């Protein structure tokens, strides 16, 4: 039987067992510690007793010795390339059973954690995210054994995880750790371009526009010179958004037009809804509300995925709110709520809080104050500082109009504190 002490350790940690409790009646805790570090080779009987107590099947996950382990790793690495470099999601659907429905045990601890790291990234790119928490626990338990390459990927993937969870502060923290490691590693150009794109995207979500443009530009230089059409379109769109937020509208429009040319040239119709969405956002920023609503509506019609539809609906809600068209706002809020019903993902939970505030505000619901406070506390808990700023300002203005000046001052302060955190400054003099 292969050495699988690292597997026992990760399963024990994941399930919350202490060594003394897992070992009870089987071996001593010190002997278990040696098993977990692969410093001794126990009998098959002891291994089976430990695995049975953990509820791990001995037969299901073992591979043949030698090359077959490397064959599995090779296949995982090939899928990682397809998903990362080519945005090929079909490869995950085609190999769903191989990737997500089986656990592989590796005789080498290093290979086991490399497999876990790639599995983590593939989960982040798929809808198979139920096992995410257990994978993170596995990786955290093995972090002390990681080499610099594994640490780089761990922080990169944790950054993506936090970004998807709307926690941009933690995302930036982990990605910057990854960036520090990247400077002393030798990686393929497509991997470096992918990292630069992700870092630029997360900086963009935190309104660090100069840093965002810097890293997205680095990624763009690589994608323009290859045949990574999906990635090229993604990068043009993100660059256009960064220009738009920097109020460089002509450059934003030019960049979106470049993205559209690539979409039409290679017939990637799935991007049309996204492009229409961003054109709507551009005209919204320019104050051309009618054009914005037209583009958002066309975007909603083009999109098929629920996340995309929620984003378009929220954009329409926001635009009609600026026009104080309460009837349209409430109708769109109800449509979005129905679409989100039963979905408990972090993305949907974040948008549901925002949409509930808009609905209460525009329907004159007496629960508006309570709903808004609850939403602000939620956004603060997940470090969504942009939303803390936005809805604290909304509530402060509301309290001011209601002549509740003490509450107004409190939420103006929350809004200001959120801006200072976004800008990463401590003193007003630094503004």
Closest CA to 234 of 259, 199, 208: 259
Which residues contact residue 25 at a Cβ distance below 8 angstroms, ignoring those fewer than 6 apart?
A: none
pLDDT at 426: 82
From first to last of its 431 residues, the chain has per-residue pLDDT tens of 456 787 788 778 778 889 999 999 999 999 998 888 878 888 888 988 998 898 876 555 554 444 478 888 999 999 999 999 988 888 988 998 888 877 777 778 888 899 999 999 999 998 777 678 888 988 998 899 999 999 999 999 999 999 998 788 899 999 999 999 999 999 999 999 999 999 999 999 988 999 999 999 999 999 998 889 999 999 999 999 999 999 999 999 999 999 999 999 999 988 999 999 999 999 999 999 999 999 999 999 999 889 999 999 999 999 999 999 999 999 999 999 999 998 888 889 999 999 999 999 999 999 999 999 999 999 999 989 999 999 999 999 999 999 999 999 999 999 999 998 888 788 878 77
Tens of pLDDT, residues 135-172: 898 899 889 999 999 999 999 999 999 999 878 889 99
Domain residue limits, the chain? 5-61, 67-146, 268-341, 366-431
Distance of CA 357 to the CA centre of its chain: 24
pLDDT at 39: 82
Place of tokens 């990682």: 80
Tens of pLDDT, residues 57-83: 655 555 444 447 888 899 999 999 999
- The single-letter DSSP state of residue 250 is H
pLDDT at 408: 97
pLDDT at 154: 98
| One CATH from 1.25.40.10, 3.30.990.10, 3.30.1330.60, 2.40.40.20 for 268-341 | 1.25.40.10
Residue 105 main-chain phi, psi, to 5 deg: -100, 130
Count of other CB atoms within 10 angstroms of residue 169: 17
pLDDT at 60: 53
3-state secondary structure at position 105: strand
pLDDT at 324: 95
CA dist 40 and 126 (Å) reads: 38
Closest CA to 234 of 216, 221, 208, 250: 216
CA dist 80 and 297 (Å) reads: 35
CA dist 312 and 324 (Å) reads: 18
Distance of CA 340 to the CA centre of its chain: 18
Cα radius of gyration (the chain)? 25
Place of tokens 């990605």: 175
Torsion-angle region of 240 (φ positive above 0: left; ψ -120 to 50: alpha; else: beta): alpha
The two three-digit tokens of residue 119, written as one number: 């599995």
Residue 62 main-chain phi, psi, to 5 deg: -75, 145
CATH fold for domain 5-61: 434 Repressor (Amino-terminal Domain) (1.10.260)
pTM: 0.79
- Tell me the HSE value of 10 on the side-chain side, using a 13 A CA sphere: 25
The two three-digit tokens of residue 428, written as one number: 């007003």
CA dist 189 and 192 (Å) reads: 5
pLDDT at 57: 67
Question: Please, which residues bridge with residue 62 across strands?
Answer: 105
Q: How far is CA 239 from CA 212, 243, 254, 262, 280, in A?
A: 8, 6, 10, 15, 16
- 317 touches 355 (CB < 8 A): yes
Which residues contact residue 282 at a Cβ distance below 8 angstroms, ignoring those fewer than 6 apart?
A: 240, 244, 249, 252, 253, 256
């Amino acid at each position: 039987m292969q050495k699988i002490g690292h597997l026992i350790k990760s399963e024990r940690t994941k399930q919350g067992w202490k060594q003394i409790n897992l070992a009870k009646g089987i071996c001593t805790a010190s002997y278990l510690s040696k098993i977990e570090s692969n410093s001794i080779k126990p009998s098959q009987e002891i291994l089976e007793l430990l695995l049975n107590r953990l509820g791990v099947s001995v037969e299901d996950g073992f591979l043949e010795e030698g090359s077959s382990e490397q064959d599995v790793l090779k296949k995982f690495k090939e899928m990682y390339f397809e998903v990362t470099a080519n945005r090929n999601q079909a490869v995950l659907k085609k190999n769903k059973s191989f990737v997500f429905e089986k656990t592989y045990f590796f005789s080498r601890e290093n290979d086991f954690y490399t497999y876990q790291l790639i599995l983590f990234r593939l989960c982040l790119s798929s809808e198979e995210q139920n096992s995410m928490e257990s994978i993170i626990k596995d990786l955290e338990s093995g972090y002390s054994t990681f080499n610099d390459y594994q640490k780089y990927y761990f922080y990169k993937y944790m950054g993506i995880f936090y970004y998807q969870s709307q926690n941009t502060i933690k995302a930036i923290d982990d990605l910057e750790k990854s960036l520090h490691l990247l400077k002393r590693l030798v990686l393929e150009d497509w991997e470096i371009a992918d990292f630069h794109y992700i870092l630029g995207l997360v900086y963009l979500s935190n309104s660090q526009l100069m840093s965002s443009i810097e890293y997205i530009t680095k990624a763009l230089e690589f994608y323009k010179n290859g045949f990574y059409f999906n990635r090229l379109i993604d990068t043009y769109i993100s660059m256009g958004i960064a220009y738009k937020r920097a109020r460089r509208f002509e450059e934003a429009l030019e960049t979106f037009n470049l993205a559209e040319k690539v979409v039409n040239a290679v017939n990637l119709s799935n991007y049309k809804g996204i492009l229409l969405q961003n054109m709507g956002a551009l005209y919204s920023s320019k104050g051309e509300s009618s054009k914005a609503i037209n583009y958002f509506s066309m975007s909603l019609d083009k999109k098929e995925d629920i996340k995309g539809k929620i984003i378009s609906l929220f954009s329409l809600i926001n635009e009609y709110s600026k026009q104080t068209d309460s009837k349209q706002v409430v109708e769109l809020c109800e449509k979005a709520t129905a679409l989100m019903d039963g979905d408990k993902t972090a993305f949907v939970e974040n948008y549901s809080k925002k949409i509930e505030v808009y609905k209460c505000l525009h329907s004159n619901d007496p629960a508006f104050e309570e709903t808004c406070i609850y939403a602000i506390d939620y956004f603060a808990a997940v470090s969504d500082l942009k939303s803390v700023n936005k809805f604290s300002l909304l509530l402060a203005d509301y309290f001011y109009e209601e002549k509740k000046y003490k509450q107004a001052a409190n939420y103006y302060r929350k809004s200001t504190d959120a801006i200072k955190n976004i800008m990463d400054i401590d003193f007003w003099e630094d503004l």
